[in-house]
Structure 1
Amino acid sequence: MKYLLLFAVLFVAYMLWRNARVTDERETRSRRPPPPADPQEMVSCPVCGLHLPRSEAVPGQRGILYCSNEHRLRADG
């Protein structure tokens, strides 16, 4: 009878340990950083040659894209 009680206690301890470990693994997976952003189209400034994302470029005359307003004014003016 005492072996059955010992087995039951060990089984409960094992199940508690296993449940805690599985919970830790789930929390670790949920804390992973988000996937990287999608790639963006890059454009080159005709004045200095700097490459930058199209969304950050400053449009000039005739649809030419520049890295800054200063370079846009220098080229257009």
Structure 2
Amino acid sequence: MGLVRLLLFVALLVAAFWLWRRYIRPALRAQKQTPPSPDPRPMVRCAHCQTHVPQSQALQDGDRWFCSQAHLEQDRRQP
């Protein structure tokens, strides 16, 4: 009698796990299938530290780009 209860309990656990996975999996698939952004932001390299930053956040001085005001000023001070 104890073995039958154990098997029934295990079968219920397996069925519950299977149903849970079946319910959760479509939600996970929907999250993974987000389309990429249509236009990636252009990146530029800081002339001082060589770090890449988005062009919209960079500072331009002629044809050179800088990641911060401090790097722009340091570059201007150098001969």
TM-score (norm 2): 0.48
Q: Counting helix residues as a fraction of each chain, which structure ranks higher?
A: 1
